[in-house]
Chains A and B, each alone.
Chain A
């Protein structure tokens, strides 16, 4: 206990939050490496990293690759002193790959503007600022290439050398990375960053360019010598595999030769940028989309300034209007099962990431069962549009969660990949089988695996803290109890949903010793806690955990008290996008939920909508920076948050995803 309390590390972190940034500004890396070293030696979380884990199966391609896979076991073997070295995944090699795949990834619409420009600049010289230095880049690159080909292994070393020239850059980026929950913070921190960025870019541009080239050369050289004749095709496949499969080959091994075609690839990339998410402060578009939707959506009047871009509707009006149309509009009407699920989302009968996702998949499944291809249409095309319509309907009921987005993307990919010559019955059967396997493998079995892993982290005498309700955490605790472990649980809850009560009820029915309190008592209760288990709605590529609001607060307090924070999340919820704050993308709950206080007849906030000076904010999610997360427990094993990109890259490339 004492050793944990030693040094609460918090405050102005100089560690990188994003995983792409080091690529964008390599100078930060040297500093960062040092910092990370310091940090992790200070950090009182070594206990969280499991020594061995047979479940993590590192694909062969990975093992052959010089890229260090941040499999904790591997790391453990090499560097005993730095157990959670996050730099492992910052290896320039994979960051090049990820950099190219990132902007093209479908869901990446919320990447911060500044952030996005950083990435794109580093990948394809899209910024006009980069042009003047173009010639020097080439020259520099040549020099570095020579150097690197001499020392075939030492890409990392070179990075360090180059990087040491420019300290301080990384720290800037970092400060911005920590999500600013309050509006003023976000704004003030954003502005200076914007101003100072381009200057830095210009100077470091050449070096970055050089480094990229050098890395590629080094890699090629390494392959050539190591793999012999089979080396080249191998490398190629590996590289293309590294991308998200819907991203076209943009920057593969032949990138140096492709310089001339940079323009075209840039164009291509522009096309790939996903349609911007509907910003709800854009009045015209909102009006347009409203006309199309089945659900009547009246927006609330006084919305919080900072969150105007998010949809917020008067909750009371949606349900009756939808119900009144129950029997109408047969043509545009969704399938009854989908309709039912939509209603359940709307009324809050189904909550929780997994439950919502399963309900949606079951609904879509029965939609497919009842589907008949209309005459003169092909199943593949028509079913995709039909699915889109149904999903749009569900979105009007409640915005999709990230996990649901992933599942839909998968389903649509499956439909698109169907052989058009397949008879309808078979095509439907195969789709249904796909949905079933998805539900089984990614949700049911994944949960079981997570429970298996997580239970090993609960020891006798532990005090486990959890926040709100997470189905996985519930299973873990129940399983631990069944195994006869002696521990007690602290359930942290928060208004207005009070989901923790549900967990509390189920734990108490299993005779688990519980303490129940609200978020405001977290700092106090954290003194006695030894483990924090939290659920998540999604884990983003930079390790940010996107979860039920309140999670960040719990994780931060736990971190400052030196309590390991373990996030339990199935990998199907992982997402490629990067999010630094919880403002750009979030979901607004019903503000009236804040007004009602259980057991009180009159509320002080009655009639708040008429008061123009008052705005209520009921956020649904928040983002926890990776710094505060000790470990993410997935069905593939326990990984540090920095390894999320690796999982995204390596496990999302099954033909389907």
Chain B
């Protein structure tokens, strides 16, 4: 359908500090015992998008990711891993692959998106509207839904302020929620063109965009100040869409490219004028001519669509994945509503509660209890260990009598006897000494700090 896909897998994110490292870039962070990236790739695969350009920030990270890709998905998808400079932002990353794009439109997907929104629908909307950019918006996810009944349930903080037109198809205004204090500035020309605008704070930009290639190419080339897709490029396009409407094909793009598609002998101008006229008639709501070229696809309520971009989100996502969104992983759920790999061993009187995952080859000692947590592969967990609302990654050793609550334990970490961790993050290979009681700390190896 003349679409290409760019997945921006990111590099070593600072937000997820103790979790990610040189060895574990963000894309490979295990989420429900699978790398985050695999969710995006599977989503694309279900939409029959098999040729993917994967941009990773940093050479080392790129190497890791490409190794993983070669191991796991190379037989199903054709993934091309491209390394971008380590400190480059999203728009820079996009610039670095721009020369590889040839299709009319392309999709940009954030590598940390976990969703079951049909990507085809976004692309179809983009095509149908003849849009320059189409953004996927989803409803704000519930936070802290882990403990039902407690008053912790609250919405994610407002991250985006989004203005839509009355048909909810066009994007009129985008602003990051954090920057807005009291005033919103809206262009008068836009309001004049649209009539009315609906400002919403309950929607979140899911970082999945469909772009018109020629336009974006032009904008990226002419404006080197644009660093980030989300913060610069999209607001710029939304802001200038009234102006972009017509000249985008002539100014921002190599015009000869367009002409090559049509045999030059034809009386194109008249026909195109006619088409323009009729296509302007399409939009009933916005009367005479619709200059709006930035569109949205709003994911329906039942769909799952969250990004893993913070520690809290990571923790929540793990719980969701093990619980309600288990269908995204493709694991089979046991009768106890949990996923326990057949090679894992449970000691005497150990229990694994519902909405838990226990990875391949992990062993649990006696009288353990695991509740609403994800335990990775080949973990050795001693006796009398309690794990609640936590994520334990691969090859972790937890010795007897530990209590882990609301924490993230990265791979190869070692928790010695009778530790008690609450709201902590333990970095890769870190050793927590015996009988330590910690609350709300990020622990990592010295050199990392």
Contact = CB atoms under 8 A, between A and B. Distances in A.
Contact of A349 (B121, B275, B282): B282
Interface stretch (A4-12, A73-81, A145-153, A324-332): A324-332
Contacts of A440: 267, 270-271, 274
Contact of B120 (A326, A425, A505): A326
Nearest to A428: B263
Given A344-B128, A358-B278, A324 B288 contact: no
Interface in B106-160: 118-121, 123-125, 127-130
B274 A327 contact: no
A327 B123 contact: yes
Interface in A292-332: 320, 322-330
Contacts of B128: 340, 343-344, 347, 349
B281 interface: yes
Interface stretch (A87-95, A160-168, A260-268, A431-439): A431-439
A509 B263 CA distance: 39
A443 B119 CA distance: 37
Contacts, number: 109
Contacts of B130: 340
B261 interface: yes
Nearest to B120: A326
Contact of A325 (B120, B265, B283): B120
Interface string A338-367: 011001100111111011001100100000
A333 B2 CA distance: 12
Interface string B277-301: 0110111100110000000000000
A436 B130 CA distance: 22
A421 to B, nearest CB: 20
B287 A326 contact: no
Contact of A323 (B104, B121, B263): B121
B100 interface: no
Nearest to B272: A362
Interface in A436-454: 436, 439-440, 443-444
B262 A369 contact: yes
Chain A CB within 10 Å — which of B47, B127, B129 has the most?
A: B127
A359 B2 contact: no
Contact of B121 (A324, A329, A362, A436): A324
Contacts of B263: 369, 425, 428-429, 432
Interface residues of A, number: 44
B121 A327 contact: no
Contacts of A336: 1-2, 104, 127
Nearest to A435: B271
B449 interface: no
A186 B97 CA distance: 66
A270 B107 CA distance: 54
Nearest to B105: A336
Given A327-B3, A328-B48, A444 B274 contact: yes
A359 B271 CA distance: 11
Given A327-B49, A340-B128, A429 B265 contact: yes
B266 interface: yes
A326 B121 contact: yes
Contact of A327 (B47, B283, B284): B47
Contacts of B267: 436, 440
A505 B286 CA distance: 10
Interface centre among B49, B124, B266 (most CB of A within 10 A): B124
B271 A502 contact: no
Contacts of A359: 275, 278-279
Contacts of A354: 278
A506 B259 CA distance: 33
A298 B1 CA distance: 26
Nearest to A333: B1
A433 B261 CA distance: 15
Given A327-B1, A340-B127, A432-B263, A358 B274 contact: yes
Contacts of A502: 284, 287
Contacts of A515: none
A114 B366 CA distance: 87
Nearest to A324: B118
Contacts of B287: 502, 505-506
A349 B262 CA distance: 26
A482 B247 CA distance: 29
Nearest to B125: A323
B213 to A, nearest CB: 14
Nearest to A334: B1
A432 B264 CA distance: 12
Contacts of A328: 47-48, 120
B288 A506 contact: yes
Contacts of A350: 278-279, 282
B281 A322 contact: no
B298 to A, nearest CB: 13
A560 B105 CA distance: 56
A369 B261 contact: yes
Nearest to A346: B128
Q: State the 10 A-B residue pairs at the shortest beta-carbon distance, nearest first.
A: A326-B120, A323-B121, A323-B124, A343-B128, A324-B118, A355-B278, A327-B48, A326-B124, A328-B48, A340-B127
Interface of A: 320, 322-330, 333, 336, 339-340, 343-344, 347-352, 354-355, 358-359, 362, 369, 425, 428-429, 432-433, 436, 439-440, 443-444, 471, 499, 502, 505-506, 509
24 contacts: A323-B120, A323-B124, A324-B47, A324-B120, A326-B118, A326-B121, A327-B1, A329-B48, A330-B48, A339-B124, A343-B127, A348-B284, A349-B129, A354-B278, A358-B275, A359-B275, A362-B271, A369-B261, A369-B262, A369-B263, A436-B267, A436-B270, A436-B271, A505-B288
Interface of B: 1-3, 47-49, 104, 118-121, 123-125, 127-130, 261-263, 265-267, 270-271, 274-275, 278-279, 281-284, 287-288
Given A344-B282, A347-B128, A351-B282, 20 more contacts: A320-B121, A324-B47, A324-B120, A325-B120, A326-B118, A326-B123, A326-B124, A327-B120, A328-B47, A336-B1, A336-B2, A336-B127, A340-B130, A348-B284, A350-B282, A355-B279, A369-B261, A433-B266, A436-B267, A505-B288
